[in-house]
Amino acid sequence: MSYVENLQRDYGDFKIEIPSWEILDQGVTVLMGPSGSGKTSVFRILLGLEPCPGMKWNVNGTDLAKLKTPQRRLGVVFQTLDLFPHLTASENILFAARARNVDEDKARKRLKELSSELHMDSFLERSASVLSGGEKQRVAIARAIMGEPRLLLLDEPFSALDQELRGESRKLVKRVIETEKIPTLLVTHDPQDVEVLANKVSHIRNGRLT
């Protein structure tokens, strides 16, 4: 388990107040709530993109809250996916390895594994700007995993896909998470995500866990 304590932030007209919260160190913890409930704020605070003085986040004896974002070693997929459009799919994925100083040979080997695991062989050398939604999503997941993160954070990663692709994509992501054994925090408002992926569900409403 990783333990989050004192996750509190006042935005003036809105407050996040989470005195304590447990995130699984295996499988998928889902943070679920309606729009405006504070999910994305919590997500950004955990990533270190927004300050949260007084917060503690204990992962295997390390307080991640004391570390800067890059040192937290988290893998992330935002709702908008945010691939680098001028790079190819493989360059996007290798960028994450280089950012974490992963050995080049090791990174290339890993890229091959991820490519076959996520069925990316056919478009690996294609520019990210011309990939379809489903392809982009797989590249974003591979990129997040490539840097050998201690935790994977996914912010509504299926919302940009159409209904048909979503189901397929959920299954693929579930399989990859299980194979890679990376603890994952998934932020979503979609009950289908919970049904397929969740090992633990935390509900959030008005900035509080219920």
User: Up-side HSE of residue 172: CA atoms within 13 Å toward CB?
Assistant: 21
Which of 17, 95, 150, 160 binds other proteins (CB under 8 A)? It is 95
Cα of 108 vs its chain's centroid, Å = 22
Minimum CB separation of residue 33 from other proteins in Å reads: 22
Given a contact cutoff of 8 angstroms between Cβ atoms, the answer to whether 123 and 115 are in contact is no
Which of 98, 106, 109, 119 binds other proteins (CB under 8 A)? It is 98
Q: Helices marked H in the chain — which ranges? A: 39-47, 69-72, 89-99, 104-117, 133-146, 163-180, 191-197
Which of 40, 50, 87, 203 binds other proteins (CB under 8 A)? It is 87
Q: How many residues does the chain have?
A: 210
Q: Is 133 in the site for other proteins (CB under 8 A)?
A: no
Q: Is 49 in the site for other proteins (CB under 8 A)?
A: yes
Minimum CB separation of residue 160 from other proteins in Å reads: 13
Residues at the interface with other proteins (CB under 8 A): 47-49, 69-71, 73-76, 78, 80, 82, 84-87, 95-96, 98-100, 143-144, 147
